[in-house]
Structure 1
Amino acid sequence: MTSSPTHAPPAPPQRPVLREPAFLRLWSGTTASGLATWALPFVLGLAVLQRDLSATGLGLVLAARTGGFLLAVAVGGVLADRHSRRAVVLWSGLAAAAAAPLLAAGLGRSTALMAAAAVLAGAGQGACRPAFQALTAETVDPDRRQQANAAMTFSVRVSALLGPSLATMLAAFFDSSALLLGIGALWLIAALAPGRGAPRDSVETPQRASLLGEFMEGVREARRHPWFLAGLAALTAVIATGYSATGVALPLISRDRYDTGVVLAAATTAYTLGALGGALLIARWRPRSQGWAALAGLAAYGFAPLALMLPVHPAVVVAAYAVAGVGIELFNVPWFTATQREVAPDKLARVSSLDFLLSYGLAPVGLAVIAPAIGAFGTGPVLAVCAATCFLAPLAAGTVRTARHFSRGTGEAAVS
């Protein structure tokens, strides 16, 4: 007589990560940094309207912040792998917080002081990005990292939506200097709120390589993962073309074709709302071929320049941007989760810094090129190239052998 099969009891439902105090503190810090990051350009724009800053000065200060970000993001990745990720978040947040009163002091007095402070602010922002990414992997167990990354990217999109709105609303009660100090307070929260992650094996060595040498170790680690290199190349291409179309062509199309700024406002809002919806969806969805699904989401950005290229109803443009927003988060969350899972823990921050350095660091190049290209070749051909790039770059990345699951492993292990 054979015994009846026994069945293991169902696994208890996972506790939502936002109910975990350690992750909630980390999430609060990243949300505060996101609000501060998105609010600063709008506060400086308000300063231009109040004649405390010239338009030329605004461009110089924002360029200085971008320069500080690019310089610090690579260094921050090395330091976050070399030392405590929590310490890097602390000191980078404090640096950005210290820049706020310097910006306020230079407002209306010294553009040079504001530019120097903006470099410091950008450096703090850049250094904390890879540290936050690595600290998430230390704080959250592997089974819940996709949920955690979805919560993180949700806060980024909410910050993008609320940061400028809150800055504009508060401008009715406070001047630009006070708002800049408020941004500094947000950076203090970002610096102080996160707790320590799980203990790591010591990475101290008697004799270290230079900062460049250690960064190159991160590059070599990235090269061990063909899916990462292919995905990063696709992401960089999409941001440099699709994002540039949003930044340059969308305002022109809204003005010249539709004779209103409503299309611009509606499309950018639809993109953010779509991204929020995408983050909620991917928090629970586990596609079997997660890499291919993520790259398909990235390719959806191509609908944005495609809609701008065609003589369609404004609602189609708005819908295309909503689809692009959903798609970008269907890519982002599995991308971050796979990076945290697959990359060697002691090199995770450096690989993350390479990600930010190339994908977002090259975006200004696309913005600088697309306007002259439109002037030389016309809006239609340039948008056609942007749309084709957005569709084809992820498709090409998907042909890489390890791209299907964003993993060097195969089969079910890559899906678990």
Structure 2
Amino acid sequence: MTNAETTTHHTRRTPRRSVLLEPGFARLWLGTTASGLATWSLPFVLGLAVLTRELSAAGLGVVLAARTAGFLLAVPVSGVLADRHSRRAVVLWAGLAAAAGAPVIAFGLDRSVPLMAVAALMVGAGQGACRPAFQALVAEVVEPARRQTANAAMALSVRVITLTAPALTALLATVLSTSALLVGTGVVWLFAALVPPRGRHTAPTDARSFSFVREFADGVREARRHPWFLAGLCALTAVIATGYSATAVVLPLVSRDRYDTEAVLAAALTAYTAGALLGALVVARWRPRAQGWAALAALACYGFAPLALLFPVHWVVVVAAYVVAGLGIELFNVPWFTATQREVAPDKLARVSSLDFLLSYGLAPLGLALIAPAIDAFGVTAVLGVCAAACFVVPVAAMFAPTTREFGRREDRVSG
């Protein structure tokens, strides 16, 4: 065997190291994990402020609504800026904005709800501005063949944070004041702003004058080039706006009225996160032949959550349904993000990602706002039935759109 053959033979047998050991992705993973921790901690810290009477329940609603508004306003702007400029710079300034807003929220505590709302708007804007830039950075620092594993690692960190953030916040609250905890979220945002790596994206060199409307419209046109993206986005939006919203409102009622205990509520929410953790682990290595169809079928599994709430079943069935829902949502999310990074033109990736977040997560508050009036008007049974049907039917209908079988045409794939 020649030296060249020996080298080739050795290379084939040498296992590739984990994507988390790659310095660029490790820094990106730490940044997204920190931003997720700060994002999930803030509502719990503000909830503690309500318990200590430093903030009223109405004030809590105003502050959280302001944060959501900041998120929705910043997402499309960030998508345009992250395609026109450095994605790393967008993350930096977004993280700094959120870091600056957190201590202002702390200062306004028990003093001024309007001041807290303005600061929360800034924090939400930082949170929203990070999302498209982080998604685009994955495509810059990770080679195409390893992006699904990288996205699974990102999803895993989000789910672990979802599971541990409340307990961590409660533990820290035993030794720190609410104001100190709010400032602490700002410190975490500062870390999220500074740690991510530089990517390979270069700003466009065309001389045309900047127009936000035109730039965002270019992103919409790019999204329309991909039928699988439009179909998948419709399915995801339908599931979040109906299934997620319905279960968020009805689950506490069912836990209280049908089972006469809050334990079912806690168990179901924990089961959902556990299912999502399992989904992230599975999808890190699972590559089905028709990945798009498999992802949409998994997304449809969210329908089991409202379906379980619809009938007087044993509480174990409700918990199991939430495990399946969590599993399905992550089996969809990771291939969905990976396909977007693979198929969309690199110079429009942040704008298309911002469209994804704007519609799928942006309509969730609207769904939450409409569910309660719908229940009053039509009853819990009708609302849960419609929501379960939407969760099952819309993802299956999306499979009939062109190019959804693999989330893209092989011959049209954009090199990452």
Q: TM-score range by the shorter chain?
A: over 0.9
Query: Which of 44, 47, 51 is residue 45 of structure 1 equivalent to?
Result: 47
Aligned pairs for 1:167-316 (under 5 A) are 167-197=169-199, 199-316=200-317
Equivalent residue number for residue 149 of structure 2: 147
1:82 touches 1:204 (CA, 8 Å); kept in 2? no
> AA paired with 1:149?
N
Which string of whole-angstrom CA distances, capped at 9 and with x for unpartnered residues, describes residues 35-58 of structure 1?
100010010010011011011100
Counterpart secondary structure, 1:364:
helix
What is the deviation of 1:208? 3.1
Which sections of structure 1, spanning at least 5 residues, go unmatched? 1-6
What is the deviation of 1:366? 0.6
Identity %: 71
Normalization by structure 2: what TM-score? 0.95
Normalization by structure 1: what TM-score? 0.95
Alpha-carbon distance in 1 for matches of 2:13, 2:97 = 45
What is the deviation of 1:356? 0.1
Aligned pairs for 1:12-411 (under 5 A) are 12-197=14-199, 199-409=200-410
Which sections of structure 2, spanning at least 5 residues, go unmatched? 1-8
Counterpart secondary structure, 1:150:
helix
Which string of whole-angstrom CA distances, capped at 9 and with x for unpartnered residues, describes residues 350-374 of structure 1?
0000000000000011101111111
Which string of whole-angstrom CA distances, capped at 9 and with x for unpartnered residues, describes residues 322-358 of structure 1?
0000100100000000000000000000000000000
Alpha-carbon distance in 2 for matches of 1:139, 1:28 = 14
Alpha-carbon distance in 2 for matches of 1:361, 1:340 = 21
Alpha-carbon distance in 2 for matches of 1:407, 1:11 = 31
Alpha-carbon distance in 2 for matches of 1:8, 1:310 = 58
Which string of whole-angstrom CA distances, capped at 9 and with x for unpartnered residues, describes residues 182-226 of structure 1?
1001101100111112x2344132123411210110000000000
> AA paired with 2:218?
E
> AA paired with 2:68?
T
Counterpart secondary structure, 1:265:
helix
What is the deviation of 1:410? 6.3
Counterpart secondary structure, 2:403:
helix
Alpha-carbon distance in 1 for matches of 2:173, 2:29 = 27
1:242 touches 1:301 (CA, 8 Å); kept in 2? yes
Alpha-carbon distance in 1 for matches of 2:207, 2:72 = 29
Alpha-carbon distance in 1 for matches of 2:355, 2:26 = 27
Alpha-carbon distance in 1 for matches of 2:212, 2:377 = 42
Alpha-carbon distance in 1 for matches of 2:202, 2:114 = 44
Alpha-carbon distance in 1 for matches of 2:62, 2:102 = 16
1:131 touches 1:349 (CA, 8 Å); kept in 2? yes
Alpha-carbon distance in 1 for matches of 2:203, 2:328 = 38
Alpha-carbon distance in 1 for matches of 2:201, 2:139 = 11
1:32 touches 1:189 (CA, 8 Å); kept in 2? yes
1:103 touches 1:113 (CA, 8 Å); kept in 2? yes
Number of corresponding residues: 407
Equivalent residue number for residue 4 of structure 1: none
Which string of whole-angstrom CA distances, capped at 9 and with x for unpartnered residues, describes residues 164-195 of structure 1?
22111111111110000110011011001111
Alpha-carbon distance in 1 for matches of 2:209, 2:156 = 38
What is the deviation of 1:9? 7.9
2:83 touches 2:203 (CA, 8 Å); kept in 1? no
What is the deviation of 1:22? 1.0
Alpha-carbon distance in 2 for matches of 1:90, 1:193 = 9
> AA paired with 2:325?
A
